[in-house]
Structure 1
């Protein structure tokens, strides 16, 4: 099983996790890292590096972030580069559910599925 790490602004990752667990009716194994607006970037980076170290398994890990170019994404990109892990930004619930439902796939495939799930979840009616 590939590791799953959500790196988001305060509270968003935890909320997404709770909603996914309600929808799927089970606990989800993932790590969430919240980055507050007042966080020291160096301290947050060290916390994130530690979280990734605990989340990576033999299949690696995929990192999902909420907003491209924002502090959580920038820190995740820096931390993930140390382990050559994929980072996908633009987190939405369909993206998260797609990844959870295919968590047995390698990290590189999960990153592609995350993008697919995220796009499929955006519709105009």
Structure 2
């Protein structure tokens, strides 16, 4: 089964640091592409940078972005019409790690990767105080 490429597009260097943090836990990653929207980049510059990556990729792609409605989300979403991939907002460390690990096995199909990433992102957002109260 073909592995899926992962693009992480965020405001600032959040995505770059997210991958570095994940690599502390899971080791080095491959087929992961970061695009950082920095203050000096225009919408057009950012779109060109994303499209340059998309043109190089063959096969399936999942894009993880930080904020729904922000420039990374909007750019990646607009480009889905041309390149046909899924965009998931609200990227977080557990979501990325689980997606990467499932993808690296090559045994999880594309649509399941998307569904699992959404579920994992949501289930790993908890109030730890509430969790402790349930255990008492």
Q: TM-score, normalised by structure 2?
A: 0.83
Distance, in Å, in 2 between the alignment partners of 1:37 and 1:106 is 37
**1:38: how far off?**
3.4
**1:110: how far off?**
1.6
**1:108: how far off?**
2.5
Deviation string 1:49-97 (CA, Å, 9 cap, x unpaired) is: 111222343xx01000001111111111112331110000001111101
How well do the aligned residues superpose, as a CA RMSD in angstroms?
1.3
- Counterpart of 1:109 (choices 68, 93, 112) is 112
Equivalent in the alignment of 2:5: 3
Q: How many aligned positions are there?
A: 122
Gaps of 5+ in 2: 130-136
Is the CA contact 1:9–1:34 (under 8 Å) kept in the aligned structure 2? Answer: yes
Residues 44/86 of structure 1: CA separation in 2 closer, same or farther (3 Å cut): same
Which structure 1 residue ranges, 4+ long, deviate > 3 Å from structure 2?
Answer: none
Residues 37/111 of structure 1: CA separation in 2 closer, same or farther (3 Å cut): farther
Equivalent in the alignment of 2:68: 68
Distance, in Å, in 1 between the alignment partners of 2:76 and 2:109 is 19
Distance, in Å, in 1 between the alignment partners of 2:114 and 2:76 is 14
Residues 56/120 of structure 1: CA separation in 2 closer, same or farther (3 Å cut): farther
Q: TM-score, normalised by structure 1?
A: 0.90
Q: Which structure has the larger Rg?
A: 2
Is the CA contact 1:95–1:115 (under 8 Å) kept in the aligned structure 2? Answer: yes
Q: Does 1:121 align with 2:108?
A: no
Structure with the largest fraction of helix: 2
Deviation string 1:8-44 (CA, Å, 9 cap, x unpaired) is: 11211110000110011x1111000111133211121
